[in-house]
Structure formats: C-alpha cells, structure tokens
C-alpha cells in the first residue's frame, strides 16, 4: 500500500488500531470525519496522536446537507488533495456517515445497503432471498409478541434491537420471566430462535464486486456468554482447522446480493449438525482486534490491504507463515478507579503472547458496560492450533489481575480487603 494516489475521508468516532495505522500510512492522503456530539468518545491522547491530520467536524444540530456543503468548500480550499474515496469503519455511524458521503459526492453505501447492513431483520430477509438458511426470527413490539413466537419455536430465544451491535441490549430469554424490565417502546426489536452448534466468524475484502479471500475465526465462547463473563476472544484460523465451508463463496453470495462494490465484510455464522446458518453481517471492519488477528495468522499487511480496497485499489494478498492467532480482551470487571493492574511487560513474558495493550492505568476512572468489546486492554496470541492459542489465553487470564475500587467504596471509605476484582 503506497502513500500516493487518492486521498481518503475516514470516519473517526473512536480510537482504533486501524485508525492509528491509517494515520501513519496515509499522512498527506487521509482526512478524518468527526461528529461533534461524539467528542467525548475521542480521548485527548487519541486527538494528540492524530493532530497532524486534517479533520472536519460535523456540527451537532445542523442539517447534514449544510454540513456536507461546508465540508466540500473546506476540502477544496484547505486541502492539497481533497478526498475522492470514503471509508466508514463504525457500525453505529453507518446511516449518517454514508448519507454524508453521498451528499459530499463520495463513494458510499446506498440507503438500501445501509438497511441491509444495520437492520438485522431486513438483513435476514435478504439472506433467505439469497437461499441462505437462518434462525427463525420475527419483529416484535411487545412481550406478548415474544411469547407467541415462543409458542411456535420454544425457549430459549434471543431478543435484540434490530440495529444493535456488540451484543448491546441483546438477551438470551429462557422463559416469560426473562421479559421483565424490557422496554419495548425504546427501540425496534426482533426475536429469533437460539441456535446450538458451533458459532464462527469470517472476514473478507471486496474489490470491484469480487470477494478476494475469506479468513475464518473461531470463537472459544459465544458473544452472549462473553457479556455474562465468559472469556472474550477470537482466533483467526490460518490452518487446516478452518470450518469445512466455502467461505469465500458464502461472502460472495452476500456481497453480490447486497450489490457491494468494495469494502470489508465481517460475518457470523453457525454450523448446526453440519448445516450452515447465516447469522449477521457487517459492512465494515470487524470489532475488537479481529482484523489484526488475520494479519498475524496469515503473515501479511491486513490493514494496508483494507485501505487499498477503500481507495479503489486491488491489494496484493501475499501471505507468509500460516498459523492461528487470536486477540484476548482483558477483563474490565466494574466501574470505579483502577488501583492495580498487571503490567504489560509481565503479559509479554507469557509464552505465545506477541503483543499486549493496556487501555487503562492505575488511577484511571473506568466505566464497564455490558458489551462484547468491554475490556481493559488486549493481548495477541499465536500458536500452531486453535487449542494451543486458547490454552495460552487461559494462562494469560490466570496471570492477569485488575483491581477496580467502586465509586461507592471510595466515597464511603469501605474496605475491599485487598482482594482484586476479576
């Protein structure tokens, strides 16, 4: 991936490995698009590390048409090379970001494509039109709707907002009592049958309508178990342990059905008694550090290849050593102030760990939430098999300690007996 060529306008609503990579690789060819109402999500540290890049702030409460016109005038007057390409790595910003790109005359997802990518019921409608098997599902607006669905499909069920991500406000329902406290008036909801079998993920790059390759990931624990405390990890499988499915053909079916020209795809699917059930798909980079896992597992510059497709170029996927590589998200057990955390240097000494990043430090105020990306940091682990990587991850969890003093305990001076919260 070279530094010349078209400039890229990229949505920046949170610090990420991809953003940091792009900031280094595309200096002079990268412009950041930020939304003023999300300023609180951008740390001062992130703003310092991207201060060398031009950034356009979309003002809060101003019509998007006006902001797009202001952006176009600004880009033509202030930038040596105005962006001609667009990238949105943010799932929750899809609708507003793609509409802004359209108003600014940049490549973008259409309103229909955004609906397929964000509305999970419409997404599954499309999957079925394309001949893919899915879990049974229905839109619901009240507890009675869920109970009627359960009368046909049984319990347990999965309830989620149609536009949720990272398992936010997603619940496993074991019976009518699980519906207590759900505010059906706050969101558009859907319910679906709970599938057994094995849950997998797959990512791929699309250029000129063609899926160039597909990279599977194993999931030691399911996302719904993760938000309830299970190990939070993904393992890219560059070995022959990959699932017995033509994953490139699967992604091509969806990309063609969604009429996608280019981009990064991240899809979840289930194998139940050897039969594939399509789960959900995102038309953006995968969450957590899944994308980086693929670079470690296949020995290539995955972020550079991703930038290439968003800049309209066909990347050269030249792989090196094949192995398994995963990201393990380190626990963030509660909200309060960090009193103690295992140093990065200790984590790097654990066999199999190739990188470690701590997002919090002693003295930091932290806020945990029920989401699959809730974490105090992460490590990257490599190995010759899924099992070897998972074993190393469990060794990391055994060695890792974080002690968070709850705000209530701080106010009252309550003792914690020196026990870490893990």
Q: Does residue 152 carry a pLDDT above 50?
A: yes
Distances (CA, A) of 155 to 134, 141, 178: 17, 18, 11
Poorest-pLDDT segment among 64-73, 218-227, 255-264, 315-324: 218-227
Q: Does residue 3 carry a pLDDT above 80?
A: no
Q: Does residue 200 carry a pLDDT above 90?
A: yes
Poorest-pLDDT segment among 49-63, 67-81, 363-377, 382-396: 363-377
What is the pLDDT at residue 287? 84
Mean pLDDT, to the nearest integer, of 359-367?
93
Residue 353 neighbours by CB under 8 Å, 6+ apart: 347, 379, 380, 381, 392, 396
**CATH code for the domain in which residue 161 is found:** 3.30.1490.20
Residue 200 to residue 164: CA distance in whole angstroms? 19
Among residues 263, 318, 220, 323, the alpha carbon closest in space to that of 117 is found at 263
Distance of CA 259 to the CA centre of its chain: 22
Whole-model pTM? 0.91
Q: What is the mean pLDDT of the chain?
A: 92
Residue 396 to residue 381: CA distance in whole angstroms? 10
Residue 256 to residue 250: CA distance in whole angstroms? 10
Poorest-pLDDT segment among 24-38, 115-129, 157-171, 184-198: 157-171
User: Higher confidence at residue 224 or residue 180?
Assistant: 180
Instruction: Judge whether 118 lies within some domain.
Output: no
Q: Does residue 248 carry a pLDDT above 70?
A: yes
Mean pLDDT, to the nearest integer, of 405-420?
51
Instruction: Judge whether 374 lies within some domain.
Output: yes
Residue 333 to residue 360: CA distance in whole angstroms? 12
103 & 145 share domain: no
Instruction: Judge whether 346 lies within some domain.
Output: yes
Q: Does residue 316 carry a pLDDT above 50?
A: yes
**CATH code for the domain in which residue 234 is found:** 3.30.470.20
- What CA dihedral angle connects 32, 37, 41 and 45, to 10 degrees? 60
Distances (CA, A) of 240 to 243, 278, 292, 325, 386: 8, 22, 20, 13, 10
What percent of the chain has a predicted confidence (pLDDT) above 70?
95
What percent of the chain has a predicted confidence (pLDDT) above 90?
83
User: Higher confidence at residue 416 or residue 388?
Assistant: 388
Mean pLDDT, to the nearest integer, of 389-409?
91
Assigned token pair, 312: 């309209």
Mean pLDDT, to the nearest integer, of 373-387?
94
212 & 311 share domain: yes
Instruction: Judge whether 214 lies within some domain.
Output: yes
User: Higher confidence at residue 325 or residue 418?
Assistant: 325
Cis preceding linkage at 156, omega within 30: yes
Q: Does residue 65 carry a pLDDT above 80?
A: yes
What is the pLDDT at residue 408? 62
Residue 396 to residue 417: CA distance in whole angstroms? 24
Burial of residue 421 (number of CB atoms within 10 Å: 0-12, 13-18, 19+): middle
**Sign for the pseudo-dihedral over CA of 352, 356, 361, 367:** negative
Residue 217's pLDDT band, with cuts at 50, 70 and 90, is very high
Residue 320 to residue 308: CA distance in whole angstroms? 19
What is the pLDDT at residue 41? 82
Q: What is the domain extent for residue 98?
A: 8-108
Enter the DSSP assignment of 7: -
Would residue 85 be called left, alpha or beta, if left means φ above 0 and alpha means ψ between -120 and 50 degrees? beta
248 & 335 share domain: no
Residue 213 neighbours by CB under 8 Å, 6+ apart: 204, 205, 248, 317
To 5 degrees, how large is the angle CA 101–CA 103–CA 105?
70
Instruction: Judge whether 243 lies within some domain.
Output: yes
Pairing state of beta strands 377-383 and 324-330? antiparallel
Q: E-assigned strands of 54-147?
A: 55-58, 85-87, 137-140
What is the pLDDT at residue 409? 55
User: Higher confidence at residue 41 or residue 308?
Assistant: 308
Instruction: Judge whether 121 lies within some domain.
Output: no
Instruction: Judge whether 38 lies within some domain.
Output: yes
208 & 250 share domain: yes
Mean pLDDT, to the nearest integer, of 3-19?
91
**HEC-encoded secondary structure of 272-312:** ECCEEEEEEEECCCCCCCHHHHHHHHHCCCHHHHHHHHHCC
159 & 202 share domain: no
Residue 418's pLDDT band, with cuts at 50, 70 and 90, is very low
Structure confidence by residue, pLDDT tens digits, 97-141 = 999 999 999 999 999 999 999 999 999 999 999 999 999 999 999
Q: Does residue 410 carry a pLDDT above 80?
A: no
Residue 1's pLDDT band, with cuts at 50, 70 and 90, is very low
Residue 118 to residue 280: CA distance in whole angstroms? 10
Assigned token pair, 371: 């989401």
What is the pLDDT at residue 122? 98
- Residue 349 CB: number of other CB atoms within 10 A? 11
Q: Does residue 303 carry a pLDDT above 60?
A: yes
What is the pLDDT at residue 370? 74
Residue 38 to residue 51: CA distance in whole angstroms? 17
Instruction: Judge whether 341 lies within some domain.
Output: yes
């Amino acid at each position: 991936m070279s530094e010349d060529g078209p400039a890229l306008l990229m949505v920046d609503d949170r610090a990420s490995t991809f953003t940091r990579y792009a900031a280094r690789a595309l200096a002079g060819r990268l412009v950041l698009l930020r939304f003023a109402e999300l300023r609180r999500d951008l740390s001062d540290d992130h703003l310092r590390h991207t201060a060398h890049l031009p950034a356009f702030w979309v003002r809060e409460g101003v019509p998007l048409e006006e902001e797009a016109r202001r952006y176009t005038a600004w880009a033509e007057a202030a930038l040596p090379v105005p962006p001609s390409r667009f990238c949105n790595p943010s799932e929750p910003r899809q609708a507003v970001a793609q509409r802004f790109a359209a108003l600014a005359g940049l490549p973008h997802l259409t309103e229909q494509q955004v609906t397929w990518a964000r509305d999970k019921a419409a997404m599954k409608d499309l999957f079925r039109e394309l001949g893919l098997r899915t879990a049974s599902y229905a839109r619901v607006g009240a507890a009675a709707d869920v109970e009627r669905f359960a009368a046909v499909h049984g319990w347990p069920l999965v309830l989620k907002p149609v536009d949720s991500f990272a398992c936010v406000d997603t619940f496993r329902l074991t019976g009518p009592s699980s519906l207590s406290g759900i505010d059906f008036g706050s969101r558009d909801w859907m319910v679906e049958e709970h599938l057994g079998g094995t849950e997998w993920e797959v990512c791929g790059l699309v250029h000129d309508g063609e899926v160039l390759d597909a990279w599977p990931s194993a999931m030691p624990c399911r996302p719904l178990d993760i938000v309830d405390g299970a190990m939070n990890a993904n393992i890219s499988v560059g070995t022959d342990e990959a699932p017995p499915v033509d994953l490139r053909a699967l992604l091509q079916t969806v990309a063609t059905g969604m009429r996608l020209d280019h981009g990064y795809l991240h899809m979840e699917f289930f194998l139940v008694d050897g039969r594939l059930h399509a789960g959900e798909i995102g038309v953006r980079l995968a969450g957590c550090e899944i994308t980086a896992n693929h670079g470690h597992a296949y020995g290539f510059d995955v972020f550079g290849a991703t930038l290439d497709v968003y800049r309209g170029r066909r990347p050269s996927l030249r792989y090196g050593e094949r192995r398994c590589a995963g990201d393990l998200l380190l626990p963030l057990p509660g909200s309060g102030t960090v009193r103690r955390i295992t140093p990065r240097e200790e984590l790097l000494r654990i066999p199999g760990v190739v990188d470690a990043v701590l997002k919090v430090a002693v003295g930091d105020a932290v806020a945990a939430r029920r989401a699959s990306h809730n974490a105090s940091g992460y490590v990257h682990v490599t190995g010759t098999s899924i099992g070897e990587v998972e074993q190393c991850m469990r060794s990391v969890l055994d060695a890792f300690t974080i002690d968070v003093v709850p705000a209530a305990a701080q106010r009252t001076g309550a003792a914690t007996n020196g026990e870490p919260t893990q």
